[in-house]
């Protein structure tokens, strides 16, 4: 079977898709180079906001068209959108052969076997290989689900309550990724700060990170998506003292008006956020802070929005992701329909906020000019201008790139020392001074046996 796999949505979905690929290749599937060559197309959907839902449905329809135009024999839709809207999707998309939500992914292999599309004999344990070409930057999902009750968010409705994965299994998976040549391992979850809370034995994200440092030689670890309320001294002290843990925190605040934060059911208020930011920057040298904000939430007034803009001016986040409120069925925000902000007002506020943050980010990037930093070499730029990479302060896929100028050829996965020579609104240019670390030689493929599909989602 030649497999076409489309992964939509967040980096946590990327991990799920890599595990799907590992499970199917263990029974003889081969990944097709294009969807037109695939016998089976699997679409891992996203259901986060309306735009993501539309993209998922359009991708499913495009895959279904291949059944009449190419070699495709079956289309399978899985993931978040299916978990939430399986019945509606099945009724409206009869051309799709199989719908599997997050909690049913252990059925994927036997369902395809029953249809004669997948081998019956397990050929090898399965290996979690990267979906893209970059094997040096990977993601380790440490937990599933979420216990936060944010009024705008539907994620707990399809991903369920928070469940931490066993630390021994995570260590085993990290070692397998190291064997494949990983240089930067991004730890991801709905909230990393909640990791280990149900074990009740002192295990937390700082303890897990300490084990990863002690039991692997992976040079860079990055923390993505940590609620500010969960940031504790052990984790902050570890980040401050260990250079392999990058001085980078992705900390979503969502808003800065106390009245909006209260309606959102967020745990902190503006003054608490201000104190937290001061503490973090005092404690961690050269800290890069990324956040996420949501505008147009029900009841947000012009005054609320101005408070948010004023806070962002004061807080000076290095990076920011911004969204306009999108009503999600089943969330508490749907009870606030009388307070809904018009779409045009929300869109205008979003555009103004993005412009404010553009200026902030540009100013902070300009301060990098003349400084020496570490960078990971990525790949040739799309326009052929030369190799690109990312500084420690630039997370994969969301924070821009650094164009690298070097006297000698560079290799993907190298860690280099650079001097920043130019900055624009989002990207940088830097001169390579020396190579600090060569990428590890990829060793033999190792199995993903510790994370079968049935255990990956905490069943």
Q: Which residues of 157-187 are buried (b: 16+ CB within 10 A; e: fewer)?
A: bbbbebbbbebeebbbbbbbbbbbbbbbbbb
Pick the CATH number of 372-437 from 2.40.50.140, 3.90.320.10, 2.40.40.20, 3.40.640.10: 2.40.50.140
Q: What is the CATH number of domain 137-366?
A: 3.80.30.20
**pLDDT for residue 200:** 86
pLDDT at 448: 45
Distance CA 101, CA 348 (A): 36
What is the residue extent of each domain of the chain? 2-127, 137-366, 372-437
Whether the Cβ atoms of residue 157 and residue 333 lie closer than 8 Å to each other: no
CB 142 within 8 A of CB 192: yes
Run of H or E residues at 128: none
Fold of 2-127: Rossmann fold (3.40.50)
pLDDT given for residue 390 in this prediction: 96
Same fold, 137-366 and 372-437: no
Residues 81 and 88: their CA atoms lie apart, in Å, by 10
pTM here? 0.88
The whole-number pLDDT of residue 453 equals 45
Handedness of CA 347, 348, 352, 358 (dihedral sign): positive
In whole angstroms, what is the distance from residue 354 CA to residue 350 CA?
6
* DSSP state, residue 307: H
- Given a contact cutoff of 8 angstroms between Cβ atoms, the answer to whether 305 and 349 are in contact is yes
Listed in order, strand segments (DSSP E) in 245-355 are 245-250, 288-295, 319-324
Q: What is the mean pLDDT of each run of 10 residues along the chain (459 residues)?
A: 92 90 91 92 88 90 87 92 90 93 90 91 77 84 92 88 94 93 94 91 93 96 90 94 96 96 95 96 95 97 98 97 92 93 96 96 95 88 70 93 93 95 94 91 48 43
CA distance 319 to 287: 12
Alpha carbon of residue 29 to chain centroid: 26
């Amino acid at each position: 079977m030649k497999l076409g796999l489309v992964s939509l949505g967040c980096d946590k979905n990327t991990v799920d898709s890599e595990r799907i690929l590992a499970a199917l290749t263990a029974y003889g599937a081969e990944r097709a180079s294009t969807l037109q060559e695939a016998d089976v197309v699997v679409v891992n959907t996203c259901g986060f906001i309306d735009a993501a839902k539309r993209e998922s449905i359009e991708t499913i329809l495009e895959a279904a068209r291949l059944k009449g135009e190419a070699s495709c024999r079956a289309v399978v839709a899985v993931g978040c959108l299916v978990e939430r809207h399986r019945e509606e999707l099945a009724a409206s998309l009869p051309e799709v052969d199989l719908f599997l939500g997050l909690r049913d992914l252990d059925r994927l292999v036997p369902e395809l076997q029953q249809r004669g599309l997948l081998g019956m004999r397990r050929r090898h344990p399965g290996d979690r290989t990267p979906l893209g070409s970059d094997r040096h930057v990977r993601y380790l999902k440490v937990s599933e689900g979420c216990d936060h009750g944010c009024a705008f968010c539907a994620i707990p409705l399809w991903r369920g309550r928070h469940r931490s994965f066993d630390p021994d299994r995570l260590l085993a998976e990290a070692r397998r990724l190291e064997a494949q040549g990983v240089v930067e391992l991004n730890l991801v979850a709905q909230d990393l700060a909640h990791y280990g809370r149900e074990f009740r034995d002192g295990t937390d994200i700082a303890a897990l990170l300490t084990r990863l440092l002690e039991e692997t030689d992976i040079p860079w670890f990055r923390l993505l998506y940590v609620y500010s309320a969960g940031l504790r001294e052990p984790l902050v002290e570890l980040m401050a003292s260990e250079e392999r843990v990058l001085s980078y925190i992705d900390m979503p605040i969502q808003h800065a008006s106390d009245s909006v934060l209260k309606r959102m059911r967020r745990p902190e208020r503006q003054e608490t956020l201000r104190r937290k930011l001061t503490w973090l920057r005092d404690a961690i040298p050269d800290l890069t802070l990324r956040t996420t904000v949501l505008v147009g939430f029900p009841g947000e007034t012009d005054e609320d929005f101005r408070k948010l803009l004023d806070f962002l001016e004061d807080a000076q986040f290095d990076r920011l992701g911004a969204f306009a409120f999108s009503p999600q069925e089943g969330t508490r925000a749907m009870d606030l329909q009388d307070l809904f902000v018009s779409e045009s007002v929300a869109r205008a506020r979003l555009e103004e906020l993005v412009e404010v943050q553009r200026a902030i980010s540009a100013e902070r990037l300009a301060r990098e000019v003349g400084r020496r930093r570490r960078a990971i070499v990525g790949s040739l730029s799309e326009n052929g201008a030369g190799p690109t990479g990312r500084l420690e302060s630039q997370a994969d896929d969301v924070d821009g790139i650094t164009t690298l100028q070097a006297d000698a050829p560079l290799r993907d996965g190298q860690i280099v020392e650079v001097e920043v020579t130019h900055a624009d609104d989002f990207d940088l240019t830097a001169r390579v001074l020396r190579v600090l670390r060569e990428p590890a030689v990829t060793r033999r493929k190792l199995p993903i046996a510790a994370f079968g599909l049935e255990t990956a989602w905490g069943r």
